[in-house]
Structure 1
Amino acid sequence: MLLRSILATTVLGLGTLTASAQDLPQTMIWTAYDVGSAGYAEASAIADAFGKEFGTKVRIQPSGTAIGRLQPVLQGRADYGFLATESFFVSEGDFDFATPEWGPQNLRAVAGRPASFAMVTAADAGIEEIADAKGKRAALVVGNPSVNLKCEAILAFGGLTTDDVEVVMFPTYAAAMSSMTKNEADFTCTTPTTSQLYELAESPRGIRWIPLDSENQEGWAALDGVLPIMSPFNEDIAAGLEEGENVQMAAYRYPVIATTADKSADEVYAFIKALDEAYDLYKDGTATMVRWDLAQAGLPPADVPFHEGAIRYLTEKGIWTEEAEAWNQQRIARLDAMIAAWEEFLPANEGLPAEEFAAKWKEKQGEVIASLDS
């Protein structure tokens, strides 16, 4: 009888594991940023947790380019992408995607960890609020619209544009982040744990984070007008911050886990359920992975609308709200309008030179957004 009881308990335990894992594929492919990036580290930690908890084998394809991360997902060669702001850009057909071969793509978010972003200055630059940046040297990065457009949005929060500052372009992200320590710039906009900022904090110039008041509705509306993917966030992990201090910043989603809109709702439901159930196994993988808690990672704003399979699970968990649903419907309407406009725009303009093509599409985008706002 004792042996029979032990066997029954073992079978029951195996049955529980199978019930949790049965809807996940045995193997999956994810894309992410290059090895060494936060996106790759977090995807790896989650993949390891999926293997331990559900027996699912995950292969991660790293890529240093937005196209390299997106193309396998859109072509069905990868299940999910651990992406950054390129997910918003491709939904609008912006920058690298303003070409006849690309245009707006119908992506959906599954979940996305809040990643803070703010204006940071040398403490001796005389900048205490965004408006004080007028006439100061701004460090931006050649060919990096993800950083540069977020900085434009933060300037807009304070009533400024890039025309109001002295833009200094640097060839790499690292060079831009080091520029304040070297007195080559007065401010930039970035994530708060960039390694070069710790050097700035210890340098004679010192460091200052410029807050974004969460109650400033006019400022947030101006920011959204430039880049509608960020929300207020109180950050307590940043270069130069003492223990117990925090700064009001903006948060976008990085990584945001995205897939195609037509991916099976049941598959996405199983994926986000697994992401939730394995949370305790990966939450300590990096200093910020605790923010994959779906109470934070499962709500908008995000770069693209949330997938219906994810919404089903988030609703069951009591996380999805009426406000979230209203946001999602508006975001779907914008994406659908962009795709419809592209289908009309492309045949009439695909023979144009690249710069003219992109400029005309930018005009069309403006018309689409204006029509939605009216």
Structure 2
Amino acid sequence: MRSKIIFLLIWILLFSIVFSIAGSARIVTIATDPLDSGTYGCTAGIARIINKYNTANLNIKVKPTTGSTEISGLLATGEAQLGVHNNFDAQLSWLTKGEEFQVYDQITKVTPLRLLFGGAMTYFSTLVAGGRGIETGADLKGKRYVGGFTAQPQDEASSEAFLNGWGLTREDVIWIEVAGVGDGIEGLLENRVDAIGDTGPGGADMRELLAMRDVYFISINTTPEGLKAFEDTYGYHTSVVTVNPSPLLPGVIKPTSMLKTEDYYMARGDQISDEEAYAIVKSIWDHIDEVRAIDPDLGTLSSPELLITPGFTVPYHPGAIKFYTEKGIWSQDFADNQAVLLALEAEEMK
């Protein structure tokens, strides 16, 4: 009798262990921007929503990084299964191109990134301190200008592009290099610099700065000559829009011409299954009101249809396509763009 009880207890214990393993969530890492960035805050909030509502038993862990170069590396090596890039960096990271990403070509010709959904629309320009006589970019001549970011080298190109658009070069300003945008913001807080060349109105540190100092954004030069000079330096066809003052966009004190980007939430297609991708997108779509409440930067997602991004620069995940098709918003234009991108990927893999 005693041996039967022990045998039964062993079976109960084994069953409990197996059930526990089977029921445990799969841990998935998402790589995103530094802790003090607006993108980190958005990513952390989105991860909480996915963890709360996804039906694929996923547990998303948020990994802050030093910026896009590290994010790309974690995705290339597979240490992160999910990642966040803006739409410009996303394509370069996918194809392992560009000054900061081409090093990963030694690991893989193409990182198998697949888009899940678009996130915050973000606006960038030059942020300047009040009381320094800076009304346009031309007024930056001789000023202390944060233009180099060792942790985010891609931002240096846009900082220099802003100057070039106004007929200036880095030799015309007191060019300052810092580790990241947060260090530039600290410099403005402490009156050690006059302007930051590439930043936007999002993030807790930015809101702290705007609450404590008289700072504001100035416009990109939108004359044909100015835009050409900007694009020649930046290396992309730019999307420059007029941004109007809004409580959601502190530091924009008048209509201001700014560079528009969009966050891409992506997965490694070989590490996130179709079912998992479908569940991730569904959890965000079904709870878009909670997504918008995470951060002012996500307030632009006025409807779930905006999760799908026209003119996408990275192929969509098949699981995401299945979801969007069921919702009736995966159009022929999207399908055609997907085919073009997949053909490009195949060519790059040769």
TM-score after normalising by structure 1: 0.64
Secondary structure at the residue paired with 1:175?
helix
Residue 146 (str. 1) matches residue 157 (str. 2): no
Counting only pairs closer than 5 Å after superposition, residues 104-119 of structure 1 correspond to structure 2 as 104-113=110-119, 114-119=121-126
Distance 1:137 1:275, change over 3 A: same
Match of 1:10 in 2: none
Match of 2:19 in 1: none
Secondary structure at the residue paired with 2:296?
coil
**1:101-132, Cα deviation, whole Å (9 max, x unpaired):** 45653423222321221111223444333344
Take 1:291 and 1:31, find their aligned partners in 2: how far apart are those partners? 22
Match of 1:6 in 2: none
Match of 2:46 in 1: 46
In terms of mean alpha carbon deviation, does 186-195 or 109-118 score higher?
Answer: 186-195
Match of 1:276 in 2: 285
Distance 1:199 1:143, change over 3 A: closer
Take 2:266 and 2:308, find their aligned partners in 1: how far apart are those partners? 12
Distance 1:218 1:208, change over 3 A: same
**1:53-101, Cα deviation, whole Å (9 max, x unpaired):** 3453413141424565445544556542234565344234334433334
Which residue identity lines up with residue 174 of structure 1 in the other structure? Answer: G
Amino-acid identity (%): 21
Q: 2:249 aligns with which of 221, 224, 238?
A: 238
For residue 160 of structure 1, report the CA deviation from its aligned partner.
Answer: 4.9
Match of 1:58 in 2: 59
Take 1:231 and 1:275, find their aligned partners in 2: how far apart are those partners? 26
Q: Does the CA contact (< 8 Å) of 2:50 and 2:280 recur in 1?
A: no
Counting only pairs closer than 5 Å after superposition, residues 219-368 of structure 1 correspond to structure 2 as 223-225=230-232, 226-228=234-236, 231-233=239-241, 234=243, 236=246, 237-241=248-252, 247-254=256-263, 256-261=264-269, 267-292=276-301, 293-300=303-310, 304-311=314-321, 313-314=323-324, 317=327, 319=329, 339=348
Match of 1:188 in 2: 197
Q: Does the CA contact (< 8 Å) of 1:28 and 1:78 recur in 2?
A: no
Distance 1:53 1:31, change over 3 A: closer
Counting only pairs closer than 5 Å after superposition, residues 200-215 of structure 1 correspond to structure 2 as 202-203=212-213, 206-212=214-220
Q: Does the CA contact (< 8 Å) of 1:115 and 1:251 recur in 2?
A: yes
Distance 1:41 1:201, change over 3 A: closer
Secondary structure at the residue paired with 1:288?
helix
Q: Report the count of equivalent residues.
A: 310
Q: CA RMSD in A?
A: 4.0
Match of 1:98 in 2: 102
Which residue identity lines up with residue 46 of structure 2 in the other structure? Answer: I
Distance 1:224 1:40, change over 3 A: same
In terms of mean alpha carbon deviation, does 76-85 or 57-66 score higher?
Answer: 76-85
Q: Does the CA contact (< 8 Å) of 1:276 and 1:294 recur in 2?
A: yes
Q: Does the CA contact (< 8 Å) of 1:300 and 1:327 recur in 2?
A: no
Secondary structure at the residue paired with 1:268?
helix
For residue 29 of structure 1, report the CA deviation from its aligned partner.
Answer: 0.8
**1:184-232, Cα deviation, whole Å (9 max, x unpaired):** 33442202135357546754xx32312347x766655654552438534
Which residue identity lines up with residue 84 of structure 2 in the other structure? Answer: F
Which residue identity lines up with residue 308 of structure 2 in the other structure? Answer: G
Counting only pairs closer than 5 Å after superposition, residues 31-42 of structure 1 correspond to structure 2 as 31-33=30-32, 37-42=37-42
For residue 260 of structure 1, report the CA deviation from its aligned partner.
Answer: 3.0
Distance 1:285 1:47, change over 3 A: same
Moved over 6 A (4+): none
Take 1:330 and 1:164, find their aligned partners in 2: how far apart are those partners? 42
Q: Does the CA contact (< 8 Å) of 1:32 and 1:39 recur in 2?
A: no
**1:127-156, Cα deviation, whole Å (9 max, x unpaired):** 333344455432122342132233234345
For residue 326 of structure 1, report the CA deviation from its aligned partner.
Answer: 6.6
Which residue identity lines up with residue 282 of structure 1 in the other structure? Answer: V
Q: Does the CA contact (< 8 Å) of 1:305 and 1:328 recur in 2?
A: yes
Which residue identity lines up with residue 98 of structure 1 in the other structure? Answer: Q
Gaps of 5+ in 2: 1-23
Which residue identity lines up with residue 184 of structure 2 in the other structure? Answer: A
TM-score after normalising by structure 2: 0.68
Residue 122 (str. 1) matches residue 125 (str. 2): no
Take 2:296 and 2:282, find their aligned partners in 1: how far apart are those partners? 23
